[in-house]
Structure formats: C-alpha cells, structure tokens
C-alpha cells in the first residue's frame, strides 16, 4: 500500500501559449497579430533557489511592433514584489525571448503573468504560468465551527433512519458478455431516490469495488470493463439518472439552499455518497477490505468527503478536487453565479455564506481520512487552484501520495485515467505481477 507522501513530477518543461486576436489592427479582422508564451525549466522549485521563466514574443505582422513588457507575480503566501517593466521592439515577423528570475520564499504557489502592451493598442497580450514550492507544507487555517462534527454526526444518524430500499435491475450489456450490468436505485437522505450503474464480473468470487462519483453536473455512466473489479458509477441527487426528486437544472448546486446549512445541496449530496457505500457494503460479492472511492473535480471533493465521513472506505482517489478551502478559493477565482446569488437577497453576506460553506469544506473534514489517498492535480488549473487542493490534502492523517501535472489545467487526460486504473489494481493486488 502507500506508505509515505511523495511528489511525482510528470514533465520538466512546460509551455502555455496564448494567442491574441485584435480585429481593429488589420483589415482582415481576425488575423493573429502577436503571440506570447511562457516556459520554465521547472515548476516545483526549491525555496530560495532562483528559477528563470522565459517569455517568447512573436510579431506576426509585416511591420515593426514596440511596446512594454511587464512581469507581475501574485501569491496568497507572500507579499508580491513590484512589477518589472522593459521596453521592447520587434521587427517584422521577429521573435524574441525575455527572461524573468524569481524565487519562492516559502511553501505555496505563485502566479506569474507576462503582459505585452503594444504601443498603439489598448488591449494587452497576456500569458500566465504557475509555480509551486514545498507542497507538502502548504496549510491554511481551518474554518470549522465548534459544532462541525456534531453537525455531521447528526446528519449521518438522520441518513441511517432512512430505509435504503436497494433495488437492482439487470440491464443488457451490449459490449461485454463477461460483465453483468445493473441499474441500481436506493433511498437516501430526505427520502430522495438516487441511482447508479453497477458492473460486476460474470464469474464467482469476491471482488474489490470502486465507487465512481461525478464532477459538477456530470452524468456517471458505465465504464469500459475492468477485469476483477466491481465498479459502481454513482449519480448523487441532481446528476445523471438521479433526477426524479432533485432536478439537475439549472446546474446551480453550490448555491442551492445555501442560506441554511441544513438545506444546502451538498449536505444531501455528501450523504448520498455514504448511502452508495452502504449499498456496496450490502453485497456479499464485495471485498469489504478493498473499497475505493474515486472522482474528479466535484467528484474529487466527494471522494474526500466520503472517505472522511465513512471509515469503510479503504482507498481515496481525488483528481483536481473541488469543494476545498472555500476562503482561499474565492480569493483565487471569480464566479458570476456566486456574485448573483449574494446580490439576490439583501440579508446575504460573504461572512455568513462562508460560514455555511465551512460545514462542507473538505479541508475541515480531511483530518478524518485515515485510508491511503491519491491526489492528482493540474498545476495550471484555474477552476480548482492547487492552493485549495493541497490545503485539504495536507490535512489527511493517513498515508498519501500526490502527482502534479505541470502543464495541465482542469483536466488530466486519458493517459492519467488509465494510469489510475492500473494504480488501483496494483494497490488491490490485481496486477499481473501480483497475480503471478
């Protein structure tokens, strides 16, 4: 199993390219005028050790360009230095490179922006890049209220009072005859009906089980067959085939019922995931010592919450997790939907909203995760910034490991998913090496 916290650096050279379009500059309207990109020889750096970033600026016009290049560094972890500026000139079709050196004074992340302001234009060309340092020591103060765990114990007890009424309906599996497919329904918190798709190897035995939980608004469906694994692709309320009692439209989950912790959407959604664990543990064919929960984005937050609230979970896999460290989340991102909700009623305020959300902040729950945990993030993620992910992850008390994809954003790609399936099988002793 996982025995320590480790860091996996997936690539050494990272490149982000931003193309700039400005119709007023040319009679052709959408012709590209210039391009700027940032590269770095490393992304996770040693504290106090200088790291150099290179901006490549390309003039795509048939005439010279002049302007000002500005480097800006922003971080929640240290006081930002003053921006630096330099005048640059590019001949027709010329490309040049400009360097900027900085160091990380403490654990955390820094966003570096390179902006090229063309002299005769009002709109600058921008590129951004993020670096980090000493990720295992990133922390943020907990925001849990005094009755935080009392609230969750009460909520779990209320869930237990709801008879689950598990039902399994066999469905034809058109792609694999060696895998049995079932649509599963059950009653969850508040009597809400939730469903999912269960895939079971078509042979006798007891098997490890994977609970797959969805991203924001995602419809979880059966996956390609995973040999010797039971896979439950589960849809909490408002997702996929779990919309009989709670609609998925509009996709405004994070503001639904937010005036009160008892009515907040994520109270029921977290408890739905616990009910899904109840279902898997009710099956004789599930190995009760090998039960994993896995999700990405919102699903990564669900994975954290499920592992924290239910010690029957033996492995937690969280990709680019959402629902973490709300205080810093809203410092690093901006969402019109949240602003509109706050402005919708006079009594609403940021302080009260963050207090309600603190009960559902996985950072406040993660100390209760004792099972092995795997987290993977995209360093350039602007939707779920790594600051928030590590603020939760570093609170986990059990063995843990993380992987950083330096050039990835809010999505880790097919290769990552395939590697994760193999890692789960390895941990559950299902690889060919283990079998032999």
How far apart are alpha carbons 210 and 128 in whole angstroms? 37
How many domains does the chain fold into?
2
- Say if 86 falls within a structural domain: yes
- In terms of residue numbers, what domain contains 73? 11-137
Distance CA(189)–CA(152), nearest Å, equals: 13
| Claim to verify: residue 306 and residue 349 sit in the same structural domain | yes
User: Taking CA 54 as the corner, what is the angle to CA 107 and CA 411, rounded to the nearest 5 degrees?
Assistant: 60
Q: Same structural domain for residues 272 and 394?
A: yes
Q: What sign results for the dihedral spanned by CA atoms 323, 328, 332, 334?
A: positive
Residues 336 and 391 both lie in one domain: yes
Q: Is residue 143 part of a domain?
A: no
> For position 119, which CATH number holds?
2.60.40.10
- What are the pLDDT digits (tens) for 64-110? 999 999 999 999 999 999 999 999 999 999 999 999 999 999 999 99
Q: Are 317 and 209 within one domain?
A: yes
Strand segments, DSSP code E, in 188-229 are: 193-201, 207-213
The beta strands (E) that lie in 134-256 are given as 167-171, 179-187, 193-201, 207-213, 230-235
Question: 211 and 307 share a domain?
Answer: yes
- Whether residues 156 and 266 fall in one domain: yes
Nearest CA to 272 among 158, 396, 356, 364? 158
Compute the mean pLDDT over every residue in the chain, rounded to the nearest whole number. 90
Q: Is 410 tagged catalytic? A: yes
Q: In terms of domains, do 312 and 402 share one?
A: yes
129 and 228 fall within a common domain:
no
Residue 381 annotated among the catalytic residues of the structure: yes
What is the total residue count of the chain?
436
Taking the C-alpha atoms of residue 141 and residue 324, their distance in angstroms, rounded to an integer, is 12
pLDDT score of 357 = 98
Let me know whether 130 and 157 are in one domain.
Answer: no
Task: For 322-375, write each residue's pLDDT tens digit.
Answer: 999 999 999 999 999 999 999 999 999 999 999 999 999 999 999 999 999 999
Domain contains 4 = no
In a domain, 1, yes or no: no
What pLDDT does 32 receive? 62
- Cα angle, residue 14 at apex, residues 11 and 15 outer, rounded to 5°: 150
102, 137, 172 - which closes a domain: 137
Rounded Cα–Cα distance for residues 303 and 266 (Å): 13
Q: Which of 97, 119, 111, 121 is nearest to 26 (CA)?
A: 121
* Residue 142 counted as domain residue: no
Can you read off the two tokens belonging to residue 152? Answer: 């969750």
What does the alpha-carbon distance between residue 39 and residue 201 come to, in Å, rounded to a whole number?
47
Q: What token pair was written down for 281?
A: 């543990």
Question: Does residue 2 lie in a domain region?
Answer: no
Q: 233, 242, 297, 389: which is the annotated catalytic residue?
A: 297
Dihedral angle sign, alpha carbons of residues 257, 375, 113, 106: positive
Does residue 365 belong to any structural domain of this protein?
A: yes
Q: Which of 239, 381, 391, 402 is catalytic?
A: 381
308 and 227 in a common domain: yes
pLDDT by residue for the chain (436 residues), tens digit each? 333 344 444 433 333 333 322 222 222 222 367 889 998 888 999 999 999 999 999 999 899 999 999 999 999 999 999 999 999 999 999 999 999 999 999 999 999 999 999 988 878 899 999 999 999 999 999 999 999 999 999 999 999 999 999 999 999 887 777 899 999 999 999 999 999 999 999 999 999 999 999 999 999 999 987 789 999 999 999 999 999 999 999 999 999 999 999 999 999 999 999 999 999 999 999 999 999 999 999 999 999 999 999 999 999 999 999 999 999 999 999 999 999 999 999 999 999 999 999 999 999 999 999 999 999 999 999 999 999 999 999 999 999 999 999 999 999 999 999 999 999 999 998 754 344 3
Query: Locate tokens 């900027």: which residue?
Result: 100
Phi and psi at 431, nearest 5°, equal: -75, 160
Q: Full-prediction pTM beyond 0.85? A: yes
Tokens of 288: 């009760």
Here the CATH number for the domain that contains residue 323 is: 3.40.50.1820
Query: Of 100, 239, 410, 416, which one is the catalytic site residue?
Result: 410
Final residue before a domain boundary, out of 115, 137, 159: 137
Instruction: Please indicate, yes or no, if residue 429 is contained in any of the structural domains.
Output: yes
Among 85, 106, 137, which residue terminates a domain? 137
CA distances from 416 to 72, 156, 427 (A): 32, 34, 16
| Cα 8 from Cα 2, distance rounded (Å) | 14
Tally the C-alpha atoms within 13 A of residue 314's C-alpha that lie toward its C-beta.
15
Q: How many CA atoms lie within 13 A of 248 on its CB side?
A: 18
* Same domain for 278 and 152: yes
Picking from 226, 233, 241, 319, the residue whose alpha carbon sits closest to that of residue 279 is 233
Question: Both 198 and 263 in a single domain?
Answer: yes
Burial readout 416-432 (b: 16 or more C-beta within 10 A, e: otherwise): beeebbebbbebbebee
């Amino acid at each position: 199993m996982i025995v320590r916290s480790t860091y996996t650096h997936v690539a050494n050279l990272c490149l982000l390219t931003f193309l700039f379009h400005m119709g007023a500059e040319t009679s052709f309207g959408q012709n590209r005028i210039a391009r700027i990109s940032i590269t770095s020889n490393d992304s996770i750096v040693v504290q106090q050790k200088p790291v150099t970033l290179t901006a490549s600026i390309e003039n795509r016009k048939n005439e010279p360009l002049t302007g000002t290049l500005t480097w800006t560094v922003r971080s929640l972890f240290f006081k930002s230095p003053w921006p630096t500026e330099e005048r640059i000139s590019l001949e027709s079709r010329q490309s040049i490179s400009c360097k900027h050196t900085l160091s990380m004074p403490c654990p955390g992340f820094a966003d570096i922006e390179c902006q090229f302001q063309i002299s005769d234009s009002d709109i600058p060309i921008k590129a951004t890049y993020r670096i980090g340092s000493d990720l295992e020591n990133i922390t943020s103060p907990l925001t849990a209220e005094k009755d935080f765990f009392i609230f969750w114990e009460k909520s779990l007890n209320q869930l237990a009072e709801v008879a689950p009424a598990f039902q399994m309906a066999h469905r034809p599996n058109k792609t694999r005859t060696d895998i049995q497919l079932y649509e599963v329904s059950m009653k969850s918190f508040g009597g809400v009906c939730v469903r999912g798709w269960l895939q079971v190897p078509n042979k006798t035995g007891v098997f490890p089980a994977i609970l797959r939980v969805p991203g924001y608004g995602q419809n979880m469906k059966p996956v390609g067959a995973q040999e010797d694994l039971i896979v439950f692709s589960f849809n909490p309320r408002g997702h996929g085939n779990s919309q009989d009692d709670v609609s998925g439209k509009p996709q405004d989950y994070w503001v639904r019922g937010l005036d009160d912790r008892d009515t907040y959407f994520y109270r029921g959604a977290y408890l739905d995931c616990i009910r899904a664990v109840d279902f898997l543990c009710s099956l004789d064919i599930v190995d009760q010592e090998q039960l994993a929960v896995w999700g990405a984005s919102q699903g990564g937050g669900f994975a954290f919450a499920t592992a924290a609230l239910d010690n029957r979970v033996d492995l937690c896999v969280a990709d680019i997790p959402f629902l973490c460290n709300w205080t810093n989340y809203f410092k690093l991102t901006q969402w019109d939907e949240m602003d509109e909700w706050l402005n919708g009623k006079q009594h609403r305020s940021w302080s009260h909203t963050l207090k309600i959300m603190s009960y559902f902040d996985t950072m406040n729950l993660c100390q209760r995760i004792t099972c092995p945990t795997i987290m993977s993030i995209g360093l350039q993620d602007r939707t779920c910034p790594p600051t928030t992910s590590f603020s939760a992850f570093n609170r986990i008390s059990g063995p843990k490991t993380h992987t950083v994809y330096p050039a990835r954003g809010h999505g880790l790609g097919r290769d990552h998913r395939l590697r994760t399936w193999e890692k789960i099988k390895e941990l559950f002793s299902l690889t060919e090496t283990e079998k032999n």
